Structure 1
Amino acid sequence: MLRILIADDEPLARRALRRLLAPHTDVEIVGEAESVAQAMELIGQLQPALILLDIEFNGADGFDLLAGMADPPRVIFVTAYAEYAVDAFAVEAIDYLLKPVAQPRLDAALDRARRLLAATPKGHDTLELRAPGRLLRCTPGDILAIEAEGDFSRVHVAEQPPLMILRSIGQFEALLPSPPFLRAGRSILINCDRIRSVQTRSRDEARVVLEGMSDPVILGRAAAARLRQALAARL
């Protein structure tokens, strides 16, 4: 089954999409969202393979949703505005449909989605890290460390500038394999496979040097002790 989430703040638009999807017996509408925040929550809960996504919501837009997720589902934009088409394909949207959507146009977009999903099934072997104006694909092993920054997470990827992702460090912890990833403290997640050395500067501070990252990660006493315990358990 092709699991789809509809994300649009207009009830009539959601109803129109349900009607257009009804002839497709392999489609399951797993949920509907009327805001970016609700869509993000439902994606985490329901894990749809595809989103039918409006662009302009109240106070936010569909691009905010994609930028805030480390590994979003594939997306078909459904909007009344033609001017965002270039931006949509920059984030690798499967298609860009203008309202009102005709049945043949949606059918063709779904056929394209089926082909792409069959050719490149999504999973945790490859992650898509989306920040405003930037998309980076990597494997979990490429991620060196993740630091909490308020509502954002600063993601350090080998040989790349850090990315600010609108996703909590707890969500990353649930996504990444453990081991090798360790939640050393409330605000830091470390890939233990990438550790080159742990240097103790004082009783209250340790410097963790990671392969592929120029600056060391600074840990407090409790986090450093947790890290050493995890490393000792792997010996």
Structure 2
Amino acid sequence: MYKAILIDDEPLARQLIATFLQPYTQVQVVAECNDGFEGFKAIQELQPDLIFLDVQMPRVNGFEMLELLDNPPAVIFTTAFDEYALKAFEAHAVDYLLKPVSRERFDKAMQKWLQQAAAKNLPAMGQLLENDIYEGYQHRIVVKDNGMIRIIPAQDIYYIEASDDYVKIFTSNGTYLKKSTLNHIEQSFDPKQFVRVHRSFLIPVSQLSRIEPYEKESHIALLHCGAKVVVSKSGMSRLKTLLGW
């Protein structure tokens, strides 16, 4: 018996998927969730084989919820928005169903997943972009902090530092650790707002107070929060281009 969880803030959308699942007696719906917070907790507790996931939901969206999971289950997206399909398939989603979902399209997605499940080849989602749906760029970061979920708005970030397989996020409320790469974070944020000043540092332009010479061709960026960040030669070039120097 396979376990499935429905995660969607629209009760009628969950009801439709549950109805479509009834002929699949090998699949049991073990939970229905209204948002990413509930979905995260249910997945941690119930360890489903498959989730049906909406993208835009209150508090934590679908992509952000998946970011919080160490070993995400297979996922079939169900959403009214087609602009996230590429991101979903790049991350090996089983399928991407546009609302209103037809039974024919649903059955095709289920057959695809059942074949994968039978072959014991359930795809992992891996890391997905967290999106706040503003011009395609991220406007917040979601992290796990001592078992709690924290949403950090971009305006609260002082700077971000690479730390092996993690990043350290320095904020007005403290420092948080997130399993991610600085490259991933950099690509997620608006390049007009955040700039990579060094291979190990990403800073918001709004935090920049002044720049001072350092060693050889490097500089030091002094931030409004009081921190000092090394600026490499290439980072200085990016800053000059961005600021029009």
Structure 2 counterpart of 1:227: none
Match of 2:24, SS? coil
Structure 1 counterpart of 2:102: 102
> How far does residue 163 in structure 1 lie from its aligned partner after superposition?
3.1
Structure 2 counterpart of 1:14: 14
Structure 2 counterpart of 1:40: 40
Contact 2:94–2:109 (Cα < 8 Å) also in 1: yes
Match of 2:23, SS? coil
Unpaired runs of at least 5, structure 2: 131-143, 150-162, 169-176, 178-245
Aligned length, in residue pairs: 143
- Check 1:58–1:149 CA distance in 2 against 1; reply closer, same or farther (3 A cut): closer
CA-to-partner distance for each residue in 1:163-219, whole Å, 9 max, x for gaps? 359xxx9xxxxxxxxxxxxxxxxxxxxxxxxxxxxxxxxxxxxxxxxxxxxxxxxxx
Q: TM-score normalised to the size of structure 2? A: 0.52
Letter in 1 for 2:65: L
Match of 1:107, SS? helix
Contact 2:4–2:29 (Cα < 8 Å) also in 1: yes
> How far does residue 130 in structure 1 lie from its aligned partner after superposition?
3.1
Structure 2 counterpart of 1:5: 5
> How far does residue 119 in structure 1 lie from its aligned partner after superposition?
2.2
- Check 1:90–1:11 CA distance in 2 against 1; reply closer, same or farther (3 A cut): same
Q: For 1:61 and 1:127, how far apart are their aligned partners in 2?
A: 18
Structure 1 counterpart of 2:166: 163
After TM superposition, the structure 1 = structure 2 runs for residues 138-149 of structure 1, keeping only pairs within 5 Å, are: none
- Check 1:24–1:70 CA distance in 2 against 1; reply closer, same or farther (3 A cut): same
> How far does residue 116 in structure 1 lie from its aligned partner after superposition?
1.4
Letter in 2 for 1:74: A
- Check 1:23–1:17 CA distance in 2 against 1; reply closer, same or farther (3 A cut): same
Structure 2 counterpart of 1:71: 71
Matched, 1:130 2:127: yes
After TM superposition, the structure 1 = structure 2 runs for residues 101-120 of structure 1, keeping only pairs within 5 Å, are: 101-120=101-120
Structure 2 counterpart of 1:191: none
Contact 2:3–2:29 (Cα < 8 Å) also in 1: yes
Structure 1 counterpart of 2:85: 85
Letter in 1 for 2:54: D
- Check 1:100–1:69 CA distance in 2 against 1; reply closer, same or farther (3 A cut): same
Structure 2 counterpart of 1:27: 27
Contact 1:69–1:130 (Cα < 8 Å) also in 2: no
- Check 1:59–1:74 CA distance in 2 against 1; reply closer, same or farther (3 A cut): same
User: Could you say what the CA RMSD is over the residues aligned between the two structures, in angstroms?
Assistant: 3.0
Contact 2:91–2:128 (Cα < 8 Å) also in 1: no
